[in-house]
Amino acid sequence: MKIHSALSHHLAWVLLALLTVTAYAKDEPAPVSAKLANVRILATGGTIAGTGATSTTTVGYTAAKVGVEQLIEAVPALKQVANVTGEQVFQIASENMTDEYWLKLAKRVNTLLAQDDVDGIVITHGTDTLEETAYFLNLVVKSHKPVVLVGAMRPSTAMSADGPFNIYNSVVLAASPDSANKGVLVCLNDQINAARDVTKTNTTSLDTFRAPELGFLGYMQSNKPHFYRLPARKHTVDTEFDVSKLEALPKVDIVYGYANVTRTPVDALVAAGAKGIIHAGVGDGSIHNAVKPALIEARQKGVIVVRGSRVGNGIVARNGEANDDELDFVVSDTLNPQKARILLMLALTKTNQTSEIQRMFYTY
Ligand code: DAS
């Protein structure tokens, strides 16, 4: 009897040791599963890769510190939803975004999506210019495959950091066939937004990304996307823009309208070589009497002038608050100033005809 109990005792220890070793075995990369989609995560920095001094630090942390492999390792559940691989395209706080970074990212996305072994792409990104990168890619990605931008409002070191689950949802979204041909998507806080309409609406809150009046496309819930709307404007493969051979983008800047404004910013930007100016006007794109002469002179020098609005929602009506036909200005439709700038930059790679540029603002 004693031998039997000693043997079973020994076996129990062996079993426990085996279980312990298994539990602590480094997470071996999951075998590639033929039935799961292949999703590439392109990391660019931001809060989602940020670190703070304590678990309660949600302001005053350092963005763009954690690498793509660590971001992936922080979400072991990814292995159940896709074959995930990652690469660090660059590592910046996104307030420092540049045209060069955009061109590098866009070219990498198009190269990867042309590969049969890539089914979708997730881009981890700072939230400050996330809407701009999303809209830029919405106009230059040449694939029907899903491209999803994701960020976080709390750094990776924070208690209840939102990054890991945002990444999980974004990979599920990018792996879903339902996400194809919907343009570039933005996925945070369980919500799916369209690149054209989404904007950051709060400096610090988790639900900051909204399309205030046009609304988001749907929800992420129970490990899958639920779409309720589709983008109405052309995007990705249906645009006329191609950055594959571009090494730079035309210089386009923004001036802001407000009480007692002067013409100084407009004159300075024209002198600095701006090819286009977005006027973020008050109300329905109204221009102060002190500024209008500067914009007229800019136009006469060949600078394209787009009348936009600082308001954030609604259509800037052509020939409403200014005689655009006579002044040869373009109106921004419903694009906010920072997105109108992106469309004008790309438009200027194709034409400087204001009638053609206005068509583009009514198309994309
Ligand atoms: N500085 C911000 C950025 O990188 C942090 C963030 O991602 O919110 O956009």
pLDDT per residue as tens digits for the range 157-192: 889 999 999 999 999 999 999 999 999 999 999 999
The CA distances from residue 229 to 196, 216, 221, 361, in Å, are 13, 8, 16, 21
Same structural domain for residues 232 and 265?
no
Confirm or reject: Cβ of 93 under 6 Å from ligand 1. Answer: yes
Same structural domain for residues 289 and 169?
no
pLDDT tens-digit readout, 275-332: 999 999 999 999 999 999 999 999 999 999 999 999 999 999 999 999 999 999 999 9
Give me the CATH number covering residue 330: 3.40.50.40
In ligand 1, which atom is closest to the CA atom of 92?
4
Q: Mean pLDDT, to the nearest integer, of 48-62? A: 85
Q: How far is the centre of ligand 1, averaged over its atoms, from the C-alpha of 47 (Å)?
A: 5
For residues 97 and 232, give the distance between their C-alpha atoms in angstroms, rounded to a whole number.
Answer: 28
Is residue 18 one of the residues assigned to a domain? no
Same structural domain for residues 75 and 206?
yes
Q: Is the pLDDT of residue 22 over 80?
A: no
Q: Worst-scoring range by mean pLDDT, 29-38, 40-49, 190-199, 297-306?
A: 29-38
Comparison of pLDDT for 51 and 131, the residue scoring more = 131
Is residue 261 one of the residues assigned to a domain? yes
Q: Is the pLDDT of residue 240 over 90?
A: yes
Confidence of residue 64 (pLDDT cuts 50, 70, 90): confident
Same structural domain for residues 148 and 220?
yes
Q: Mean pLDDT, to the nearest integer, of 337-352? A: 98
Is residue 279 one of the residues assigned to a domain? yes
Q: Is the pLDDT of residue 244 over 90?
A: yes
Q: What is the pLDDT of residue 5?
A: 57
Is residue 23 one of the residues assigned to a domain? no
Q: What is the pLDDT of residue 306?
A: 98
For residues 310 and 129, give the distance between their C-alpha atoms in angstroms, rounded to a whole number.
Answer: 17
Residue closest by Cα to atom 3 of ligand 1:
126
Q: What is the pLDDT of residue 24?
A: 42
Q: Is the pLDDT of residue 27 over 90?
A: no
Q: Is the pLDDT of residue 270 over 90?
A: yes
Q: Mean pLDDT, to the nearest integer, of 76-100? A: 98
Indicate the angle between helix axes 264-271 and 292-300, nearest 10 degrees. Answer: 20
Confirm or reject: Cβ of 127 under 6 Å from ligand 1. Answer: yes
Is residue 6 one of the residues assigned to a domain? no
Is residue 20 one of the residues assigned to a domain? no
Same structural domain for residues 99 and 181?
yes
- Mean of all residue pLDDT scores within the chain: 93
Confirm or reject: Cβ of 94 under 6 Å from ligand 1. Answer: yes
Comparison of pLDDT for 26 and 256, the residue scoring more = 256
Same structural domain for residues 137 and 285?
no
The proportion of the chain whose per-residue pLDDT surpasses 70, expressed as a percent, equals 92
Q: How far is the centre of ligand 1, averaged over its atoms, from the C-alpha of 127 (Å)?
A: 5
Nearest of 225, 164, 163 to residue 194 by alpha carbon: 225
Our answer to whether residue 98 is catalytic in this structure is: no
Confidence of residue 25 (pLDDT cuts 50, 70, 90): very low
Same structural domain for residues 280 and 229?
no
Same structural domain for residues 63 and 190?
yes
51, 58, 95, 167: residue to mutate for ligand 1 pocket, most atoms within 8 A of CB: 95
CA 134 remoteness from chain centre: 3
The CA distances from residue 182 to 176, 228, 229, 245, in Å, are 12, 12, 10, 25
Same structural domain for residues 101 and 164?
yes
Is residue 148 one of the residues assigned to a domain? yes
Q: How far is the centre of ligand 1, averaged over its atoms, from the C-alpha of 168 (Å)?
A: 19
206 contacts: CB under 8 Å, gap ≥ 6 = 153, 154, 162, 188, 189
Its domain, for residue 99, covers: 38-238
Domain C-terminal end among 210, 238, 266: 238
Nearest of 352, 345, 351, 354 to residue 140 by alpha carbon: 345
CB 305 within 8 A of CB 326: no
pTM reported for the whole predicted model: 0.91
Domain C-terminal end among 182, 203, 238: 238
Q: Is the pLDDT of residue 55 over 60?
A: yes
Q: What is the pLDDT of residue 20?
A: 46
Same structural domain for residues 67 and 195?
yes
Domain C-terminal end among 238, 270, 292: 238
Pick the catalytic residue from 47, 129, 199, 239: 47
For residues 151 and 175, give the distance between their C-alpha atoms in angstroms, rounded to a whole number.
Answer: 18
Q: How far is the centre of ligand 1, averaged over its atoms, from the C-alpha of 17 (Å)?
A: 44
Is residue 15 one of the residues assigned to a domain? no
Comparison of pLDDT for 11 and 295, the residue scoring more = 295
Q: What is the pLDDT of residue 12?
A: 58
Confirm or reject: Cβ of 183 under 6 Å from ligand 1. Answer: no
Same structural domain for residues 203 and 144?
yes
Q: Domains in the chain: how many in total?
A: 2
Confirm or reject: Cβ of 47 under 6 Å from ligand 1. Answer: yes
Confirm or reject: Cβ of 155 under 6 Å from ligand 1. Answer: no
Give me the CATH number covering residue 132: 3.40.50.1170
Residue with tokens 């002198």: 271
Confidence of residue 253 (pLDDT cuts 50, 70, 90): very high
Confidence of residue 53 (pLDDT cuts 50, 70, 90): confident
Greatest alpha-carbon span in the chain: 105
User: In this structure, which amino acid lies at residue 21?
Assistant: V
Same structural domain for residues 274 and 192?
no
